[in-house]
């Protein structure tokens, strides 16, 4: 921080003019960063306090009405939440359908602890797709545990180890409302599937208390169509991955999930049926639609061109496709030499070229320094 002593020190010593401005610049940068982080940390990021300092309200399209309001008002949302809750008796919420007796406190393959809800963090996220981030950020809630458990997961501490805090459904509703009050443009639920019953209950509570933001279902894409049907009219934006084309690859890198490609294709078609193509509103934000993410992996482990060909053939050409270049070997990826490096520019450009050849018009393309 630029203290009086440091300022005096700066002024009392003899420097060249260049050195003086360099040091002054460094001190100003420190002061700016300090103020930024001080402001950030003084606001409670996890605790739901009655008197929060969140004064900014979400800046959203006044014409937008979230899908879940109608279901909330008719009582249907509550019924659907109960329906999902009952499925946890012998859990079949996700394609593992492992039958864990979660209502009796047992955990299944995903390791979610029975009916307890464990959340890692919630905050405005500025690293998501631009039409989700806007100026106020995407109101992201990181849920712990995962049914897919990829060995290269960048959030492995949350998804594999379940690092987070036990919370309850009312608090989850409170987080949604706090994010809205903080100025976020949507509620972005990361890895939601195994907590889908809790989430619907929380949306019902939050809607009653004034939640009006679109719900983003930020999923691995590996979802059962029957469960997605329960979300019809609840979710506004689906944000699925389409990770692999080849079932041998999904089985190898995602804990035996051989069914991933087939299940995900059906799931994406259902998502598209429900919410259609994601198109920005006048304010540049997306309020409804499907945004597909595909992570390009080294040695074409994901079968990128095949994935892109399937999208071009089965969905409208203006489907929003984020072709992600940020793969970084993490967690157990170093046990597999073929995925123990970043991708090359050539690998990434090949996928982009194919997407353009196939006429996809709504591509989110990234540039990173390591793409060379």
Residues forming the site for ligand SF4 (CB under 6 A): 91-94, 96-98, 100, 102, 108-110, 112, 147, 194
The residue among 72 and 227 lying less far from ligand SF4, judged by its C-beta, is 227
Least distance between ligand SF4 and beta carbon 86 (Å): 13
Helix (H), strand (E) at residue 324: strand 320-324
Least distance between ligand SF4 and beta carbon 98 (Å): 3
**Is residue 154 helix, strand or coil?**
coil
The residue among 112 and 278 lying less far from ligand SF4, judged by its C-beta, is 112
Least distance between ligand SF4 and beta carbon 310 (Å): 25
Least distance between ligand SF4 and beta carbon 109 (Å): 4
The residue among 108 and 221 lying less far from ligand SF4, judged by its C-beta, is 108
Least distance between ligand SF4 and beta carbon 87 (Å): 8
The residue among 86 and 335 lying less far from ligand SF4, judged by its C-beta, is 86
For residue 261, which of 241, 271, 247, 240 has the smallest C-alpha distance?
A: 247
Q: Torsions phi, psi of 200, nearest 5?
A: -65, -40
**Is residue 142 helix, strand or coil?**
strand
Cβ(224)–Cβ(94) under 8 Å? yes
Least distance between ligand SF4 and beta carbon 99 (Å): 7
Tokens of 230: 């329960």
Least distance between ligand SF4 and beta carbon 193 (Å): 6
SS3 of the chain: helix, strand, coil, percent, to 5: 45, 15, 45
Contacts with 276 (C-beta within 8 Å, 6 or more apart), sequence order: 288, 289, 290
The residue among 93 and 228 lying less far from ligand SF4, judged by its C-beta, is 93
d(CA 239, CA 159) in angstroms, rounded, equals 18
The residue among 106 and 212 lying less far from ligand SF4, judged by its C-beta, is 106
Q: How far is CA 198 from the centre of its chain?
A: 17
d(CA 147, CA 191) in angstroms, rounded, equals 9
The residue among 185 and 198 lying less far from ligand SF4, judged by its C-beta, is 198
Q: Which letter does DSSP use for residue 74 in this model?
A: H
The residue among 94 and 355 lying less far from ligand SF4, judged by its C-beta, is 94
For 277, counting Cβ atoms within 10 Å of its Cβ (0-12 exposed, 13-18 middle, 19+ buried), the class is: middle
Q: Which letter does DSSP use for residue 244 in this model?
A: -
Question: Nearest-CB residue to ligand SF4?
Answer: 108
Q: How far is CA 312 from the centre of its chain?
A: 24
d(CA 319, CA 278) in angstroms, rounded, equals 7
Least distance between ligand SF4 and beta carbon 112 (Å): 6
């Amino acid at each position: 921080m630029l203290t009086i002593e440091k300022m005096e020190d700066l002024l009392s010593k003899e420097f060249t003019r260049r050195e003086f401005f360099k040091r002054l610049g460094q001190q100003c940068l420190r002061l700016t960063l300090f103020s930024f982080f001080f402001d950030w940390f003084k606001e409670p990021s996890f605790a739901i306090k009655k008197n929060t300092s969140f004064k900014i309200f979400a800046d959203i399209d006044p014409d937008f009405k979230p899908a879940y309001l109608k279901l909330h008002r008719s009582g249907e949302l509550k019924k659907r939440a109960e329906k999902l809750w009952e499925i946890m008796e012998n859990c079949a919420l996700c394609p593992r359908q492992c039958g864990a007796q979660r209502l009796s406190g047992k955990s299944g393959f995903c390791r979610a602890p029975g009916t307890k809800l464990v959340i890692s963090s919630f905050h405005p996220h500025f690293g998501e797709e631009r039409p989700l981030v806007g100026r106020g950020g995407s109101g992201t809630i990181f849920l712990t545990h995962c049914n897919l458990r990829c060995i290269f997961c960048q959030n492995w501490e949350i998804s594999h180890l379940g690092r987070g805090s036990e919370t309850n459904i009312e608090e989850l509703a409170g987080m949604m409302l706090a994010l809205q009050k903080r100025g976020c443009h949507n509620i972005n639920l990361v890895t939601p599937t195994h907590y889908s019953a809790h989430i619907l209950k929380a949306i019902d509570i939050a809607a009653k208390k004034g939640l009006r933001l679109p719900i983003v279902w930020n999923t691995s894409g590996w979802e059962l169509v029957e469960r997605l049907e329960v979300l019809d009219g609840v979710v506004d934006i689906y944000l699925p991955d389409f990770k692999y084309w080849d079932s041998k690859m999904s089985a190898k890198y995602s804990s035996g999930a051989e069914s991933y490609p087939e299940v995900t294709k059906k799931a994406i078609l259902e998502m598209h049926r429900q919410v259609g193509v994601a198109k920005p509103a006048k304010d540049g934000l997306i309020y409804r639609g499907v945004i597909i993410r595909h992570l390009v992996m080294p040695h074409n482990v994901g079968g990128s061109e095949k994935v892109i060909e399937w999208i071009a053939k089965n969905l409208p050409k203006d489907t929003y496709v984020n072709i992600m270049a940020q793969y970084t070997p993490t967690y157990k990826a170093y046990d597999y030499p073929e995925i123990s490096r970043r991708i090359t520019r050539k690998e990434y450009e090949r996928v982009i070229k194919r997407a353009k050849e196939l006429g996809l018009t709504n591509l989110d393309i990234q540039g990173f320094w390591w793409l060379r």
